[in-house]
Structure 1
Amino acid sequence: MKKKIYLGWFAVAFLITVFSAGNFAYASDYTGKTIIDVKIAGEQTVPANSIMAVVRIKPGNLFDPEKIHQDLQSIYEMGDIYNVTANFTDVPEGVKVTYVVTENPVLKNVVFKGNTKVSMDQLKSVITLSKGRAINTKTWNENARAIEQDYHNKGYILAKVSDLAMDPDGTLTVSINEGTVEGIVIKGNEKTKPYVITREMKLKAGEPFNAGDAKRSLQKIYNLGFFEDVNMKLNPGREPNAVVPEVDVKEQKTGNFLIGGGYSQTDGFGVYYGIGDSNFKGTGNKVNLTFQHGISSEAGTGWDFSYTNPWMDDKQTSFSVDLFNSVNEWNDYGYDGSSTTLRSDYYRRSKGFSLSLGRPQGEYVRYNIKFTNRKDTYQEYISGPVNYLTDTDYSDYLKNNFGIVHSMTLSRVYDTRDNIFDPTEGKRVFLSSEFAGNVFGGQFDYNKYTLQASQYFKVGSKQTLALATTAGYATGNVPDISKFYVGGIDTLRGYKDEEFTGKEMFTATIEYRYPIVKKVEGVLFTDAGNAWEGDYSVGGLKYDIGAGVLVNTPIGPIRLYMAYGDEGIRYQFGFGGQF
């Protein structure tokens, strides 16, 4: 039969022994006599000299019941002793004092039960009890606190040492209750399916509760972009020390319908309309369909359909398909050798598809592979000093920049941002390599490499310092549409959109972000960057400084910037979040 050992029982036994009125009435009979000897009896594994080291009375002292009481307490507080009494022997010379001790059980081994998140070896490394000696309750109390603190440091804040049991063979069994998640409750999701939320959670039913996992779960749920607010509270479970996390979400609109139009002397009337949903039917899938039509332009109609399933299987494999037959206005700069002078403005049609697959590795890394089949054609001259259809000085331009591109892109993303829409801490590093060439059946043979990195720091309680840089390098026969472009709202805000182009590029940005009012954020920034066809040159970098605001609206974030560069002040307006 196992003998249960509870630390409180030791204290009770000691109090009964030390504070017995009968004992002290008996001890008072020797008051004033000389103590001629002090001995320890009953010790087995605890050295007698260790016990004597805490004893205050010495031979030659006068007998004092209060000092006897203090000695009994000091011996017990060593932690090795289960019971201690004082015996007195009257002799002609005075009185002999013998402290009779009963040691705690002798420890031979320590085993743990209930530990699933901390290994047996890790727990044993915390134990400082000496094998072959009586269990020291003082040391054990320190060890128990250290075990619980080790769990708490790892995020298991509910874990505790729940029970001790000593076998007759000297094996101490330590039971640990790690604080189990008994179930998960989702509230507030009128559209979103519950599994779309729970699959993002690191907390799982039947697993120990972890505060770090709870925080990360809330971040991942919010980063879906489906909710205006996400909160969690812990309700008690049915079992001791168990909890039921309750996640309360406040949904926001994820569907969109856009329609617009315009008129220019060159193009005549044009219309644009689109429909989409980033949480299609509450499944977490993303669907978008857009149309554009130039009523008077020869460019004609363009469209784009995209579909993304972010979670195809239990390995979190994502799949995306993009079918497009789009028409875009294209501005070429570089007339007469000036990178800021427009050479030609025209319509370009891109027709084809792309397929993407992705899968995470761990919590913060994701790998993707993308296959693209695209055909680019020259559609219509709009304006500018050069018409590529008629200008003989540019007879090779169409051949070198329009045709079929087949490519494969490999990418890796490392992302620890706390909030992908408005990060305040963490980092994101994106690396991609695109390989296009005859081996894939295309007309253009080139390699293109891109590195993007951003870092975020909290400044005070609500401000953020954001740093970002991008570098790119390409080799081979790269068509214009696949080159690097710098300039505009996402790179150099003090310059025209895609004003600088080349096979090499570099940009860097520093932003200081601060709240103005609810859902409105101010930004102070400086940008640097350029793109080159030849060798990279630090002296060729362009710079700007400026300020702006980010407004969160029901249709998404809106960005407004005013920037000053070499070409003067430029205003930028756009949709979507910042880097």
Structure 2
Amino acid sequence: NIQPQVIRRTGADGKPVVDLRWAINEGQPAIVNKIEIAGNDITHERVIREAIVLLPGDVFRQDALIRSYQNISNLGFFQQPLPFPDTRPANDQGDIDVIFRVTEKHTGNINFGASVGQGTGVGGFLGLDEPNLFGKGKKGHFQWQFGQNISDFQVSYTDPAIKESRISGTFDVHNTRLRYTIADLGTLKREGASVQFGFPVFNDRYTRLFFSYAIDDQTFTGATTGLAALSCNNCIRSTIGVSLLRDTRIDLPFPTAGTMHSIGISQSGGPLGGSGNFQRLDLEGRWYAPLGQLGGAASTSPVKFVMGLSSRSGLVFGNSPFFDQLFTMGGVQYGIPLRGYDEFSITPRGYDPTASNGQASASSFGKAYFATTGEIGARISQMFYLSAFVDAGNVWANAGEFNPTRLFRGAGLGVSIVSPLGPIGIDWAYGFDRTDNFGRPAPGFKLHFKLGNFF
């Protein structure tokens, strides 16, 4: 109960003044009596309740209701937009019931067809993805790519709640035969498996600690002379890793708010056996701020505008005989993305203008990198996204040369679509710091096409 009280009096200078006082009498706070879920014909109720932060017996809070709504939407199992939760009186004391209503959508994808890639040649693909296996939120993934320069087989299974606990697990097996025609990187043969377990940190639903182990039998053959320094025959990569992830983003896969931070450390070889002996550190941060929205009737999603900033960096310490564990930059397909530049064109020696001809050498790979992107985006729907972006990044030969103040710059426009074949993107970017063969400035535009991830 809120009542205004107006007090008229005479001020020190003799002029009349008015004091306004608000008298607030706090009533009994509303308590959440029960939470109901309607419309989940496939997804188990436990999966949805795991996403709800508002619990029976809690004092009703609007911010907790909104966050629960966003978490359920983030699952990606239901038609968008979700109807906002309903509330109804539960008793004469002012307690309330909360009802979440969902409509199931088809989540699994079977995709097949032909593909043409600059590095993988002509081939075909067959894939199966199910992010809501058995209606329990488990993930199954099968992929087979085959063709002139590629034979890639991968199967993975993820359980986000092992035996209905807060512990997650992922198991992956793969067998790869790739002939990298671009830059004549030679033939990669790799077979192995990995396992990862995740644990909540301090009972925080948005922060998890992961432990992983991976073992691969790798062989690189047929590379150019310069790349021979990075090739090995029947090498074993034995790697143990630990990573910390905190993710509060909403409206995935095109976030409109929230943050994501991750740090990962791994040890390969050395005391673990296998080839080489090196450590790798990976850092990543993403930040999103909403700028507003247009439209958004009851049955349609609004167009949401967002400002995003992301940064990534990596460092390798020690001796790595595996070039796929080092860093190369440029383009969008093979290494660290930097739009406006060709694949492999950003090297520890600077910009390489010959990379446009598909040329690379051992010196194209570094042990340290930094990349950052700023963008203004329009999330048209959960499946369609437009952006204007600015990229910057660089690669260094070793960690001691790391210098994020010396970066190559690019800017442009992008379109991203989530299709049954996976993410598809087209980026048109301008590379500001490109040069010609004589070192003279030669900035220019570059068109990038992305169809899923080849690596």
Fold-level match, TM-score > 0.5?
yes
Q: Is the 8 A contact 2:423 2:452 kept in 1?
A: yes
Give the 3 Å change call, closer, same or farther, for CA 563–267 of structure 1 in structure 2: closer
Give the 3 Å change call, closer, same or farther, for CA 183–497 of structure 1 in structure 2: farther
* Residue aligning to 2:407: 541
The AA in structure 1 aligned to 2:186 is: Y
Give the 3 Å change call, closer, same or farther, for CA 377–494 of structure 1 in structure 2: same
Describe how 1:370-449 pairs up with structure 2 within 5 A. Answer: 370-378=212-220, 381=222, 387-388=223-224, 391=225, 396-399=229-232, 403-449=235-281
- 1:561, CA displacement in angstroms? 1.1
- 1:499, CA displacement in angstroms? 4.4
Give the 3 Å change call, closer, same or farther, for CA 561–269 of structure 1 in structure 2: closer
- 1:280, CA displacement in angstroms? 0.9
SS at match of 2:256: coil
Match of 2:81 among 229, 238, 243: 229
Residue 448 of structure 2 is aligned to residue 572 of structure 1: yes
Match of 1:217 among 62, 68, 75: 68
Give the 3 Å change call, closer, same or farther, for CA 558–396 of structure 1 in structure 2: closer
Q: Equivalents in 2 of 1:263, 1:552: separation in Å?
A: 19
Give the 3 Å change call, closer, same or farther, for CA 261–484 of structure 1 in structure 2: same
Residue 386 of structure 2 is aligned to residue 522 of structure 1: yes
* Residue aligning to 1:310: 160
Q: Equivalents in 2 of 1:365, 1:395: separation in Å?
A: 42
Q: Is the 8 A contact 2:86 2:99 kept in 1?
A: yes
* Residue aligning to 1:513: 377
Q: Is the 8 A contact 1:522 1:549 kept in 2?
A: yes
Larger % of helix: which?
A: 1
* Residue aligning to 2:311: 469
Give the 3 Å change call, closer, same or farther, for CA 314–213 of structure 1 in structure 2: farther
Q: Equivalents in 1 of 2:154, 2:195: separation in Å?
A: 14
Q: Is the 8 A contact 1:229 1:250 kept in 2?
A: no
Residue 412 of structure 2 is aligned to residue 559 of structure 1: no
Residue 105 of structure 2 is aligned to residue 249 of structure 1: no
* Residue aligning to 1:205: 56
* Residue aligning to 1:487: 330
Q: Equivalents in 2 of 1:237, 1:198: separation in Å?
A: 20
- 1:254, CA displacement in angstroms? 1.5
- 1:540, CA displacement in angstroms? 4.9
- 1:464, CA displacement in angstroms? 1.4
- 1:522, CA displacement in angstroms? 2.3
SS at match of 1:212: helix
Q: Is the 8 A contact 2:428 2:447 kept in 1?
A: yes
Match of 2:187 among 332, 347, 350: 347
- 1:233, CA displacement in angstroms? 1.0
The AA in structure 2 aligned to 1:216 is: R
Q: Deviations over 1:438-489 (max 9, x none)?
A: 2112212101111111211222444211111112111101221111232233
Q: Deviations over 1:107-128 (max 9, x none)?
A: xxxxxxxxxxxxxxxxxxxxxx
Give the 3 Å change call, closer, same or farther, for CA 518–279 of structure 1 in structure 2: closer
* Residue aligning to 1:182: 33
Q: Deviations over 1:490-527 (max 9, x none)?
A: 62111234544310000011101135689543211110
The AA in structure 1 aligned to 2:342 is: K
Give the 3 Å change call, closer, same or farther, for CA 275–418 of structure 1 in structure 2: closer
- 1:321, CA displacement in angstroms? 0.5
Q: Equivalents in 1 of 2:424, 2:118: separation in Å?
A: 29
- 1:291, CA displacement in angstroms? 1.6
Give the 3 Å change call, closer, same or farther, for CA 281–505 of structure 1 in structure 2: same
* Residue aligning to 1:454: 286
Q: Equivalents in 2 of 1:460, 1:213: separation in Å?
A: 21
Give the 3 Å change call, closer, same or farther, for CA 265–515 of structure 1 in structure 2: closer
Give the 3 Å change call, closer, same or farther, for CA 265–443 of structure 1 in structure 2: closer
Q: Is the 8 A contact 1:347 1:378 kept in 2?
A: yes
Give the 3 Å change call, closer, same or farther, for CA 307–546 of structure 1 in structure 2: same
Q: Equivalents in 1 of 2:55, 2:287: separation in Å?
A: 31
Give the 3 Å change call, closer, same or farther, for CA 442–425 of structure 1 in structure 2: same
Q: Equivalents in 2 of 1:269, 1:552: separation in Å?
A: 23
Q: Equivalents in 2 of 1:254, 1:470: separation in Å?
A: 31
Aligned residue-pair number: 385
Q: Equivalents in 2 of 1:377, 1:402: separation in Å?
A: 5
Give the 3 Å change call, closer, same or farther, for CA 530–189 of structure 1 in structure 2: same
Gaps of 5+ in 1: 1-140, 149-159, 162-177, 333-341, 382-386
The AA in structure 2 aligned to 1:495 is: Y
Of the two structures, which has the highest relative contact order with CA contacts closer than 8 Å and spacing of 6 or more? 2
Q: Equivalents in 2 of 1:469, 1:287: separation in Å?
A: 30
The AA in structure 2 aligned to 1:229 is: P
SS at match of 1:216: helix
The AA in structure 2 aligned to 1:325 is: N
SS at match of 2:231: helix
Give the 3 Å change call, closer, same or farther, for CA 397–474 of structure 1 in structure 2: closer
Q: Equivalents in 2 of 1:346, 1:415: separation in Å?
A: 38
Q: Equivalents in 1 of 2:386, 2:123: separation in Å?
A: 35
Describe how 1:57-72 pairs up with structure 2 within 5 A. Answer: none
Gaps of 5+ in 2: 1-21, 294-303, 347-364, 435-442
Match of 2:42 among 162, 168, 191: 191
The AA in structure 1 aligned to 2:324 is: I
Q: Deviations over 1:145-164 (max 9, x none)?
A: 3xx4xxxxxxxxxxx33xxx
Describe how 1:97-136 pairs up with structure 2 within 5 A. Answer: none
- 1:184, CA displacement in angstroms? 2.0
Give the 3 Å change call, closer, same or farther, for CA 210–496 of structure 1 in structure 2: same
- 1:247, CA displacement in angstroms? 0.8
Q: Is the 8 A contact 2:217 2:234 kept in 1?
A: yes
Q: Equivalents in 2 of 1:359, 1:345: separation in Å?
A: 38
SS at match of 1:502: coil
Q: Is the 8 A contact 1:186 1:247 kept in 2?
A: yes
Larger Rg: 1
Describe how 1:40-119 pairs up with structure 2 within 5 A. Answer: none
Larger % of strand: which?
A: 2
Q: Equivalents in 2 of 1:354, 1:552: separation in Å?
A: 27
* Residue aligning to 2:173: 323
Give the 3 Å change call, closer, same or farther, for CA 493–404 of structure 1 in structure 2: same
Q: Is the 8 A contact 1:278 1:287 kept in 2?
A: yes
Give the 3 Å change call, closer, same or farther, for CA 397–251 of structure 1 in structure 2: same
* Residue aligning to 2:144: 291
Q: Decide which moves more: 361-370 or 501-510.
A: 361-370
* Residue aligning to 2:438: none
